[in-house]
Structure 1
C-alpha cells in the first residue's frame, strides 16, 4: 500500500491578495493574465475577488477586513417605510383570507353532516 504525501500549500499575505485583486480589476486587464503573471491558479484569484467584494478577505480566520456599510439615503428609508406598510397590509389580508378558509371548512363539514342526516331519514 502506498503512502500519501502531504502537499505543501503556499500561503499568501493579505497585502498580496489585495494587490492581486486590485490589479485584476483594472480596465483592460484580464484576471487570468494577472493570475498567470503572479504564478497562482485563476480560480484562487476569482475566490479572492469574491471575498474582497463581500468584505471578508482576510489573512487568517481571526483578522477580517469589512467594508463600511453603505450610507442610507432618504429615498432608501422612504422606500423601506413604504415596503413595511405594504407588508403589514398584506399580512392583514392574509389573516382575513385564512379566517375565511377556516369558516368555509366548517361550513363544508356542517353541510356534509346535514346531507348525511337527510339521506338517513
Structure 2
C-alpha cells in the first residue's frame, strides 16, 4: 500500500477570526447558517467554535489593546470629514440652484413664444 506523504490540507483560522465569527453568531437575529455562509465557512465549523468558546478553549487575547488615539486627533479627523461633507453639500446646492434658474428661464422662453 502506498504511503501518503501529505494528507488533505485544512485551512487554519486565527483565533481572532474565530472569536469574531462566534460573536457575530451570538448577536440577536443572527443564525449560525447565515453567519457561516457570509464568512464562507461550514456551519458545523462555526458550531464547533461556539462550543469551544463556551468551554474556554477559544479565548480572546485580552493583552492586545486597541491603539490609544488622542481625543484631539479624533476630533480633528471628524472636523476635517465634516468640512469635506459641508463643501460637497455646498457644491451640490449651488448646482441645484443653477439648474433651477435654467429651468425657470427655459419655461419663460417657451411660454413667451
Structure index of larger Rg: 1
TM-score by length of 2: 0.49
* Greater RCO (CA < 8 Å, at least 6 residues apart): 2
Normalising by structure 1, we get a TM-score of 0.46
